[in-house]
Amino acid sequence: MEFDKLRIVGDIQYSIDRKTVYSLLGYKKGQTKLPQKIYDRVDLAFLEAEKLIDAKGVYIIRRIKKNGDPICLQGSRTTIKGHSASNLLKNSFAVIFMAVTIGPGLENLTSRYTKEKQFEKTLVLDTIGSEAAEASANALNSYLQTLARQAKYTLTGRFSPGYGDLPLSFQKDMFRELSLDSLSIVLDKKFFLFPRKTVTAILGIEE
């Protein structure tokens, strides 16, 4: 595994779990009954979304100089604070910063639909977009896991800013570490990322 080198992964082949999308939309197996035309609308939304989603990712691996709270890294001014992160990375010798985005296409469309008051379309596409971002993060995570396994390492679970006591303001550090502007991602003052369907996370590498 290569350290301190920013790697961009273009065209991530995500696989949306349709079951999860239905479930997020309130579908309850055995209870909900969809008229054919509603099913067709959702099906069409999947096709529409897939045309617009352009899933890309980026990651960088940093060696940990010092575990605990805060965690200090080699070759980087980023420090990771808080109990959640120190607990996650307590056995790790390195940390992976990763991000995936599904690009602006889908969000441009949902904004248009919102303006046109087509809220049901917005809702379904937005849910598909969330699941696509999650699926893309899973795909990149699996790829990193394969790299780690080949080097006889194991990875911890994925942990994102806003979880536990890792503050949302840590997005600023993620943004810098991953040069997210090169994926046309924007960070606003409230630490929200745009496109909104962008997932950032850290993972520990353990021996």
- Give the separation between CA 84 and CA 166, rounded to whole angstroms: 6
**Which residue of 1, 6, 8, 34 would you call a contact of another protein, by CB under 8 A?**
34
Nearest approach in angstroms of CB 49 to another protein is: 12
Cβ closest to another protein, residue 25 vs residue 155: 25
Torsion of CA 184, 199, 148, 14, to 10 degrees: -90
Q: How many residues bind another protein (CB under 8 A)?
A: 30
CB atoms near residue 28 (< 10 Å)? 8
- Give the separation between CA 176 and CA 193, rounded to whole angstroms: 13
Q: What three-state secondary structure class fits 183?
A: helix
Return all residues near 185 (Cβ < 8 A) that are at least 6 apart. 99, 101, 175, 193, 194, 195, 198
Return all residues near 38 (Cβ < 8 A) that are at least 6 apart. none
**Which residue of 1, 6, 8, 38 would you call a contact of another protein, by CB under 8 A?**
38
Nearest approach in angstroms of CB 17 to another protein is: 8
Nearest approach in angstroms of CB 113 to another protein is: 11
Site for another protein in 45-64 (CB under 8 A): 50
196 is a contact residue toward another protein (CB under 8 A): no
Cβ closest to another protein, residue 30 vs residue 157: 30
Site for another protein in 102-161 (CB under 8 A): 117-120, 123-124
Q: What three-state secondary structure class fits 65?
A: strand
- Give the separation between CA 11 and CA 57, rounded to whole angstroms: 8
CA distances from 157 to 53, 85, 170, 205, 206 (A): 26, 11, 18, 10, 11
**Which residue of 4, 8, 10, 18 would you call a contact of another protein, by CB under 8 A?**
18
Cβ closest to another protein, residue 36 vs residue 150: 36
32 is a contact residue toward another protein (CB under 8 A): yes
**Which residue of 3, 19, 108, 169 would you call a contact of another protein, by CB under 8 A?**
19
77 is a contact residue toward another protein (CB under 8 A): no
Residues that bind another protein (CB under 8 A): 13, 15-19, 22, 25-36, 38-39, 41-42, 50, 117-120, 123-124
